Amino acid sequence: MMSLGCLRFGYPEMRHHRREVPLPNQPVLLKVLIGQRHWQNYGTFSAEYDKAAGQLDSNLARTHPSRAQLHRWTNGALKGLPYPDHCRVLEVMFPGYTAEQLFSPSTPELLYAGSQANGHAVANAPSSGPPIFAAPSVGIRPFIEQAFQRDHVSVDFAGFSGETLHGVIQEPLDKIRIGRARPASITIRMLLPDTTRPMVLPCRADDLSDDPGLRARMTRLTARHAHAIVDSVQELAALGIVPDATAEIRAHGCSSLFKLYVLNGEEAFFGLYPILKHPVMLNDGMQDIYDLMGKDAMVFHHSAHSGNPTDLAWLNHASTWFTTMWDTISYEYPA
């Protein structure tokens, strides 16, 4: 029997265009955007689809996909794209995104770029960018860049060495230096482990012991990245480019098992560090160690503007935790 979806369009299902493929690691963008608009209910989505279809072409009225078709769309089970009429309607429903993008895995760059493309603002989307489920740490770059468009910029970071933060924050700082952005103030606070004290991680793989050579390696990483951020911000202040610009590192005695970014008190990203065994050169030669891999960490996004009350509660809790750590058990980073 021909499906209702096929009857609506007047031609048979083209199976060679519908071959299932492995699901992507990230949910397809269409699924994320449907969730943002609270259209997960099939009836709600169908009504919105028909509304957009009618605006596009009266002949497309009531041509919404079947429940099974929508399931394939949102689960990433299509190879290629739906029929052209479907694509046209979806592009009306989600302005700023192409059909190709809607059926691609949702990356932070794609979410952000689509919501800003050609000046189209996604309905009900916050000005600071749409929420996402999870992304690699380097994927927060567009959110960092937009955070620096504010008049007053604040970045709180808790983590291992500041390596990933340095990678994503240097370009916004450079744009300020050449006059492409001009915030009135910048405040960056970094909470990092004290590398002068014995640590649980990183550690030697043979006996799980602390090693001064490992801590010396970590000290070099911190100097290369976290201290470089401090130097860049202090230079902006010294040159009078930003009237009020401060960056500070404080140390604590805890092992860093996660990373946390809080941007302008409104966006937070949190992720657990993967632990990987790999060889490094120490004083007694090459040794296997268990190390924290910051660039491989997946970070989860929480936004004060997502409309999800748990996001706001989580963000407030994370901000309170950071400030408590900063004001109580942290201390000036050892020189």
Which two three-digit tokens encode residue 189? 């606070």
Between these two residues, 119 and 195, which has the higher pLDDT value? 195
Fill in the DSSP letter of residue 262. Answer: E
CB 237 within 8 A of CB 246: yes
**CATH numbers and ranges of domains, the chain:** 14-119 (no CATH), 134-332 (3.30.870.10)
The dihedral over CA atoms of 108, 110, 115, 118, expressed in degrees to the nearest 10, equals 140
* pLDDT of res. 20: 36
Q: What confidence tens digit (pLDDT) does each residue in 14-55 have? A: 333 333 333 334 678 898 888 778 898 999 999 999 999 998
**HEC string for 198-237:** CCCCCEECCCCCCCHHHHHHHHHHHHHHHHHHHHHHHHHH
* pLDDT of res. 89: 93
* pLDDT of res. 112: 55
- Does this model's pTM top 0.75? My answer is no
- Please identify which residue in the block is written with the tokens 């340095």: 166
Q: What is the DSSP string of 134-199?
A: EEEGGGGHHHHHHHTTSSEEEEEEESSSSHHHHHHHHHHHHHHHTTS---SEEEEEEEEE-TTS--
* pLDDT of res. 270: 94
CB atoms within 10 A of CB 146: 18
E strand or H helix at 276: strand 275-282
Phi-psi region of 124 (alpha: psi -120 to 50; beta: other; left: phi over 0): left
Alpha-carbon span 98 to 79, nearest angstrom: 16
- Please identify which residue in the block is written with the tokens 């609270």: 38
Which amino acid does the sequence have at 265? Answer: G
Alpha-carbon span 275 to 202, nearest angstrom: 9
Could you give the 3-state DSSP secondary structure of residue 260?
Answer: strand
